[in-house]
């Protein structure tokens, strides 16, 4: 007999009260702006780790908690998204670190569907870079409030007022600095706290491994200690006040303004202030719209959606972890819920809280929390889970691939491992797997947004699945959705290939836009549609 989905025994009001304590946010930025370093520093300030793991580029240091994959440690970049949960003050923080590299935009986009706020990290020397702007566009589209952190102020960089102008011009947001730097970029003395006029003076620590001592001084003491640099900070603060750059909570939540903080994550300067701002200003979870636009309230029965699937985190067990964002109700480990896509019961016996690669069992979780379900082989990215009243949340966007390669096993005796690995990477969304009768099951086509995804796929095939592979790049750059009726004409066109995605979609692959345009002009009745309705702008 099939077990019926179970309802939480917790009162509905518990979900609402606990949700009010949650702050779920992501850190977004261009590569090398210091995202993983900031993530580590936040965990350090919350006192959930005793020592910051690593500053990339420093020899002899440990890897950051959030960067656990071998390739991440070797390259000093984040390749996968990571979830960290910890308590700070009276709040429960769910912090999602995201890949910064443009090749992993799809993974970042999925993470942004699971958060209620974002920290936009800006390199003081480089300002708003391309990938930062792409991710900002996603946040704006989704109505996610943004806190801006100007990072690396301990190094030479742009003028602070110049950076405020750049934020205004390029994002349309009005920056409302909560702290203002004392000392130019590269000469970071501390910050003027514009909320009370005090001076928060910082002292360096060796390598930024521990929390930097912070000395609180009055304006008079600061003027005596710092002289002209303090007076300049005060003058610039008065200029900001004259232009109306003051924090307003309603404008922040409405996506009109962005609070700004100045920091040096590598030295742990200004990180504690960011944690306090997130707890005080970032919004808690609210009811979430379903696929039809109806809002499922926080106090309704349990519901959640899968925004990421990851394997290979535990080499000893080769398990598979599905990350879910809880949207309503109370999650209790062991409860049986319904898998929205299949309408079949799903048992949640193995549920874990995540702290980078480290995990421990979680018995209860609430709206806003991120929970990892272990060995959830039936779950895929975008799937909904619920108890009692059915709900389907909006599907997650699949990006149009631009790079294609045939993948083959280097060792014919390892066909089983090869097939298992390819299926796993496909289900996680690391790559899209395309097949055709022409190539056969042993030589599928991998389709990706950026070429670094190929490196991740080949690395994981060899080291996780013990199935070394060879890749042969294909000359295609465009994939279009098509149908059975259009197949004969497309297949007869030179330089075009038709393949089938795992979800059943038929795709036509073209070498460039001119080949696509010529075929459309010759055969106007063909079905050739773009793969996605929404891209990162």
The 3-state secondary structure of 422-486, one letter per residue: HHHHHHHCCCEEEECCCCCCCCCEEEECCCHHHHHHHHHHHHCCCCCEEEEECCCCEEEEECHHH
Instruction: Provide the 10 A C-beta neighbour count for residue 407.
Output: 23
Phi, psi of 272 (to 5 degrees): -60, -40
Write down the pLDDT at residue 399.
Answer: 73
> What pLDDT was estimated at residue 85?
85
What average pLDDT is seen over the chain?
A: 85
Say what the pLDDT of residue 327 is. 97
User: How much of the chain is helix, strand and coil, in % rounded to 5?
Assistant: 30, 30, 45
pLDDT at 76: 43
Q: What is the mean pLDDT of residues 194-208?
A: 82
Residue ranges of the binding site: 97-101
Q: Quick one: pLDDT at residue 318?
A: 57
Query: Is the Cβ–Cβ distance between 99 and 452 less than 8 Å?
Result: no
Largest CA distance in the chain: 82
- Give residue 232's pLDDT band: very low, low, confident or very high (50, 70, 90): very high
Alpha helices in 76-194 (DSSP H): 105-112, 130-142, 160-171
Give per-residue pLDDT as tens, 161-179.
999 999 999 999 999 999 9
Exposed e or buried b per residue across 439-459, where buried means at least 16 C-beta atoms within 10 angstroms of its C-beta: eeeeebbbbbbbebbbbbbbe
Q: Residue 1 to residues 4, 345, 346: CA-CA distances in angstroms?
A: 9, 11, 14
Angle CA(403)–CA(407)–CA(413) in degrees, nearest 5? 170
pLDDT, residue 43, reads 80
Region 419-443 average pLDDT: 87
Distance (Å, rounded) from C-alpha 426 to C-alpha 428? 5
Q: How far apart are CA 81 and CA 108, in angstroms?
A: 7
The reported pLDDT for the residue numbered 233 is: 96
Q: Would you say residue 9 has pLDDT above 80?
A: no
pLDDT at 161: 97
Convert the pLDDT of each residue in 490-529 to its tens digit: 988 889 999 999 888 899 999 999 999 999 999 999 999 9
Q: Which residue has the higher pLDDT, 32 or 311?
A: 32
Assess whether pLDDT exceeds 90 at residue 533.
no
* DSSP notation for 361-425: E-SEE-TT-EEEEET-TT--TT-EEESSS---PPPPPPPPP-EEEEEEES-GGGHHHHHHHHHHH
Distance (Å, whole) CA 154 – CA 333: 45
pLDDT for residue 3? 47
Structure tokens at 396: 């997650």
pLDDT at residue 210, rounded to an integer: 67
Which of 92, 203, 189, 191 has its CA nearest to residue 149? Answer: 191
pLDDT at 306: 94
**CB neighbour list of residue 452: distance below 8 Å, 6 or more residues apart:** 79, 101, 103, 104
Is 451 within 8 Å of 103 (Cβ atoms)? Answer: yes
pLDDT of residue 44: 82
pLDDT digits (tens, 9 = 90+) for 304-331: 999 988 765 455 545 678 999 999 999 9
Determine the pLDDT at residue 172. Answer: 96
* pLDDT the model gives residue 411: 92
CA–chain centroid gap for 30, Å, is: 12
Cα 48 from Cα 38, distance rounded (Å)? 14
Q: How many whole angstroms separate alpha carbon 322 and alpha carbon 360?
A: 15
**pLDDT score at 58:** 36
Q: What is the pLDDT of residue 424?
A: 83
Question: Which range is least confidently modeled, 91-100, 154-163, 275-284, 453-462?
Answer: 91-100
Q: How many CB atoms lie within 10 A of CB 38?
A: 28
Q: Record the tokens describing residue 210, joined without a space.
A: 């521990």
The pLDDT of residue 115 is above 80: yes
The pLDDT assigned to 435 comes to 94
* Mean pLDDT lowest among 39-48, 98-107, 129-138: 98-107
Residue 42 belongs to what H/E stretch?
Answer: helix 35-45
Of residues 365 and 205, more confidence is placed in 365
- Structure confidence at residue 50 as a pLDDT band (50, 70, 90): very low
Alpha carbons 344 and 379: distance in angstroms, whole number? 11
Burial (Cβ within 10 Å: 0-12, 13-18, ≥19) of residue 19: buried
- Residue 310 is predicted with a pLDDT of 79
- pLDDT for the residue 249: 97
Task: Give the residue numbers of the binding site for GTP.
Answer: 97-101
Q: How far does Cα 434 stand from its chain's mean position?
A: 26
* Position 16 pLDDT exceeds 50: yes
Query: Tell me, what's the pLDDT at 537?
Result: 36
Distance CA(52)–CA(209), nearest Å, equals 5
- 43-52, 300-309, 331-340, 403-412, range with the lowest pLDDT: 43-52
At residue 268, the pLDDT reads 84
Instruction: Indicate if the pLDDT at residue 436 is higher than 70.
Output: yes
pLDDT at 24 over 90: yes
Please state, in angstroms and rounded to a whole number, the distance separating the CA atoms of residues 347 and 335.
Answer: 6
Query: Locate tokens 């780790």: which residue?
Result: 49
Distance (Å, whole) CA 97 – CA 108:
9
Domain architecture of the chain: domains with CATH: 22-281 (3.40.50.300), 288-386 (2.40.30.10), 403-530 (3.30.70.3280)
Instruction: Report which of residues 389 and 99 the model is more confident about.
Output: 389
Look at 8-22, 77-91, 475-489 and tell me which has the smallest mean pLDDT: 77-91
The pLDDT assigned to 79 comes to 34
pLDDT (0 to 100) of residue 208: 58
Residue 54 has what pLDDT?
35
Per-residue pLDDT, averaged over 27-31, amounts to 87
Give the pLDDT confidence score for residue 64 in this predicted structure. Answer: 46
pTM above threshold 0.85:
no
């Amino acid at each position: 007999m099939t077990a019926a989905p179970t309802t939480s025994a917790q009162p509905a009001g518990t979900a609402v009260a606990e949700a009010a304590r949650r702050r779920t946010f992501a850190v977004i930025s261009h590569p090398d702006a210091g995202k993983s370093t900031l993530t580590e520093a936040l965990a350090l300030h919350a006192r959930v780790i005793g020592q910051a793991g690593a500053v990339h580029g420093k020899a002899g240091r440990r890897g950051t908690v959030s960067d656990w994959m071998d390739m991440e440690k070797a390259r000093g970049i984040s390749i996968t998204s990571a979830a960290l949960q910890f308590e700070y003050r009276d709040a429960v923080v769910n912090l999602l670190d995201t890949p910064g590299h443009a090749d992993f935009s799809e993974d970042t986009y999925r993470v942004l569907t699971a958060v209620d706020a974002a920290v936009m990290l800006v390199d003081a020397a480089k300002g708003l870079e391309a990938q930062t702007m792409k991710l900002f566009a996603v946040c704006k589209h989704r109505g996610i409030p943004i806190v801006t952190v100007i990072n690396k102020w301990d190094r030479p960089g742009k003028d602070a007022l110049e950076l405020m102008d750049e934020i205004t011009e390029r994002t349309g947001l009005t920056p409302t600095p909560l702290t203002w730097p004392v000392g130019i970029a590269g000469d970071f003395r501390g910050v003027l706290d514009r909320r009370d006029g005090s001076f928060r003076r910082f002292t360096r620590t060796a390598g930024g491994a521990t929390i930097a001592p912070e000395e609180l001084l009055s304006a008079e003491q600061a003027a005596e200690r710092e002289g002209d640099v303090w007076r300049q900070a005060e003058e610039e603060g008065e200029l900001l006040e004259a232009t109306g750059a003051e924090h307003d909570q309603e404008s922040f939540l409405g996506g009109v303004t962005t609070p700004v903080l100045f920091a040096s994550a590598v030295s742990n300067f200004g990180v504690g202030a960011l944690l306090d701002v997130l707890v005080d200003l970032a919004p808690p979870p609210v009811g979430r719209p379903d696929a039809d636009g109806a809002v499922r309230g926080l106090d309704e029965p349990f519901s959640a959606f899968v925004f990421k699937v990851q394997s290979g985190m535990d080499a000893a067990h080769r398990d598979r972890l599905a990350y879910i964002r809880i949207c309503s109700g109370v999650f209790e480990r062991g409860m049986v819920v319904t898998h929205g896509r299949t309408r079949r019961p799903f048992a949640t016996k193995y549920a874990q809280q995540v702290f980078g690669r480290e995990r421990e069992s979680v018995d209860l979780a609430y709206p806003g929390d991120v929970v990892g379900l272990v060995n959830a082989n039936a779950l895929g990215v975008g799937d909904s889970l619920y108890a009692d009243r059915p709900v389907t949340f909006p599907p997650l966007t699949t990006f149009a691939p631009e790079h294609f390669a045939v993948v083959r096993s280097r060792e014919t005796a390892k066909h089983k491992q090869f097939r298992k690995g390819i299926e796993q990477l496909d289900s996680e969304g690391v790559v899209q797997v395309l097949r055709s009768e022409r190539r056969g099951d042993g030589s599928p086509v991998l389709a990706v947004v950026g070429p670094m995804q190929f490196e991740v796929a080949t690395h994981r095939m060899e080291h996780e699945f013990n199935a070394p592979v060879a890749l042969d790049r294909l000359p295609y750059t465009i994939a279009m959705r098509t149908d059975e009726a259009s197949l004969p004409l497309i297949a007869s066109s030179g330089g075009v290939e038709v393949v089938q995605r795992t979800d059943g979609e038929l795709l036509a692959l073209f070498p460039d836009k001119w080949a696509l345009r010529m075929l459309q002009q010759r055969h106007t009745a063909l079905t050739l549609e773009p793969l996605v309705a929404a891209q990162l702008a």
